[in-house]
């Protein structure tokens, strides 16, 4: 997939680039963000995956799309990210 991309805007909010895994909920998408981290003991790179729930107001993202999500105020219990843009559509 994609390496974790952390980008801070002027407001200090984090942004990640990831792949949409699910869009079954209304106005919510689940985004998988991958990160390669060096294992402290074995010195091998391990892929770590975060699954973030993000707010998609227009229900426009579909599974497989590459998207950018940004931190925002808590919208629900688990949802504190919002969809910024769709970078690449799934084929």
Q: Give all domains of the chain, ordered by start, each with its CATH number.
A: 7-88 (2.40.50.140)
For 37-67, the pLDDT digits (tens) are 999 999 999 999 999 999 999 999 999 999 9
Tokens of 10: 């002027």
Confidence of residue 12 (pLDDT cuts 50, 70, 90): confident
In SS3 terms, 16-80 reads as: EEEEEEECCCCCEEEEEEEEEEECCCCCCEEEEEEEEEEECCCCCCCCCCEEEEEECCCCCCCEE
Mean pLDDT of 3-27: 83
């Amino acid at each position: 997939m994609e390496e974790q991309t952390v980008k801070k805007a002027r407001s200090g909010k984090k942004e990640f680039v990831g792949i949409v895994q699910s869009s079954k909920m209304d106005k919510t998408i689940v985004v998988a963000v991958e990160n390669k981290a060096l294992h402290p003991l074995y010195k091998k790179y391990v892929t770590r995956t975060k699954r973030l729930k993000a707010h998609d107001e227009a229900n426009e993202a579909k599974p497989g799309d590459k998207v950018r999500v940004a931190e925002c105020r808590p919208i629900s219990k688990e949802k504190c990210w919002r969809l910024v843009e769709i970078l690449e559509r799934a084929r």
